[in-house]
Structure 1
């Protein structure tokens, strides 16, 4: 077809037809813009606070694509007494600019550890997205059933245990709280170093609800025993993993994040139905020292880990619908 087109006289109409054919071929090849088009395009998105760059991602996400892990910060709300990791303001309005840049239209707001068990900003933020957002809260053993029901009505679908540092939650709280939330169809979400994840493997295996591991379960290579453990939970239908935070545990860094792409690819190839993707915006772990990453580059890294368009749709659309929106 292309030879036939180029064999004709070079007219504006023929050039447009060829470009249209190339664009269609790029779409059929997995949703990435053709490399030549990307290198010459000036199609930038908005400048987003706490995100490097302005170029749009080469990856085109499907309709109803969901960012299943990000945070909201607002100085109108106080830090928890035990706060370790802080962030500058990263408001709903700021995040909506990121959605515009990436093309996502649904989102899951994760309560940051900096606010402890004060979920007021989380609830307020979920409401600002008019039914297109869900939330993951932080609670402790003192939470009342009435408060859990209130959070459920507000759109919360899970509780997070951030075990990366001393805070509002501990491993000992996981089992009792999981028992209380299971009837609501919620899950527990775990952010922890690999040694803690592995040491608590018996806890995860006996939970009465699903367990979701943040940021590839902080695995840097598939030879890590935590990878096999998490994969086993996923294969049994008990576990999920977030293909997020590639910059947190990478040893090679941007723009490729090749080590984390390999881990994400291994999860997605083995159990695509138990993976979701998240931006981790506004990247609070990176703000102080390393500098925030480019969210378009991160989305494109995810697309390299999951090169098949149908599987990307499963991870970006279908799986979040089951885990958060059903």
Structure 2
């Protein structure tokens, strides 16, 4: 088990997995390599970061055992976000909470949109709220406002993945992103400044979108609602992106020391339940 350490920076979004694991039957991607915890912790150390949030990858479905095992290897340094069935027993969620799980992910990319008015969702979100967890939403930006409006009445904290997955070439004025900015004023939404390379444009278009988006996000969400994540190991983009690349992209945003302090320490420490020793 790894020792506790003070917080020098929190990576709010990463994945660990092994290609030897049983994969979900319905998946968009099959890894051909291992993303080991030791490698991830090495990237954190090499880049002056101390803590991380591990997110269950979609291709492992609801089998969170590998992630839960990783959390128990570095309990003071890691938190987890799991993927679960809606009818999961409350005691199973509580057991996950005891090893450092702080949220559930709804990865809806490529899937039919759920109807959160259906029976079963209310009890599920009540359990999530009771635990103090958040719900992480991963979906293209055009559908996010509709989903967020359905979820807000449940009273759970909502975290939006990867800038909301807008299309960089359409600019910050695109309808879905503008609506997301408006919803950010609710005070119930957080957003991950992550996955710049997933914004569906050229590298220069993606970075320019992120640069233009940052001041708008700060104005709408506020610094207390924005966190940064590496998205390591950059699935489906491994050939062109590495940990050093995403550090460079973050630095290219030109954030002030105050913004960096909020993105890397203050906001994720509170959202994910990290504490100084």
TM-score tier by shorter-chain length is 0.7 to 0.9
| Partner of residue 272, structure 2 | 324
In the alignment, does 2:147 pair up with 1:200? Answer: yes
In 1, Cα distance between equivalents of 2:83 and 2:97: 13
| Partner of residue 77, structure 2 | 132
Q: 1:145 to 1:63 in 2, by over 3 A?
A: closer
**Once superposed, which parts of structure 1, at least 4 consecutive aligned residues long, lie more than 3 Å away?**
169-176
Quick check: which has more Rg, 1 or 2? 1
How far is the alpha carbon of 1:250 from its aligned partner? 4.5
> Deviation digits for residues 119-173 of structure 1, max 9, x if unmatched?
1011011112231100000011221111100111110000000000249x94547
In the alignment, does 2:188 pair up with 1:238? Answer: yes
SS of the residue corresponding to residue 223 of structure 1 reads coil
Contact (CA 8 Å) 1:216, 1:264: kept in 2 or not? Answer: no
For normalisation by structure 2, the TM-score amounts to 0.86
Contact (CA 8 Å) 2:12, 2:229: kept in 1 or not? Answer: yes
> Deviation digits for residues 295-321 of structure 1, max 9, x if unmatched?
323223223325210121011001011
Provide the aligned length of Structure 1 versus Structure 2. 261
How far is the alpha carbon of 1:269 from its aligned partner? 4.7
Contact (CA 8 Å) 1:198, 1:226: kept in 2 or not? Answer: yes
| Partner of residue 155, structure 1 | 100
In the alignment, does 2:256 pair up with 1:311? Answer: no
For normalisation by structure 1, the TM-score amounts to 0.74
The one of 302, 308, 320 equivalent to 2:250 is 302
Q: Where do 1:61-72 residues align within 5 Å?
A: 63-72=7-16
In 2, Cα distance between equivalents of 1:149 and 1:302: 35
Q: 1:303 to 1:108 in 2, by over 3 A?
A: same
List gaps (5 residues or longer) in structure 2.
1-5
| Partner of residue 165, structure 1 | 110
In 2, Cα distance between equivalents of 1:200 and 1:180: 19
Q: 1:258 to 1:294 in 2, by over 3 A?
A: farther
In 2, Cα distance between equivalents of 1:179 and 1:226: 28
In the alignment, does 2:211 pair up with 1:266? Answer: no
The one of 24, 39, 52 equivalent to 1:107 is 52
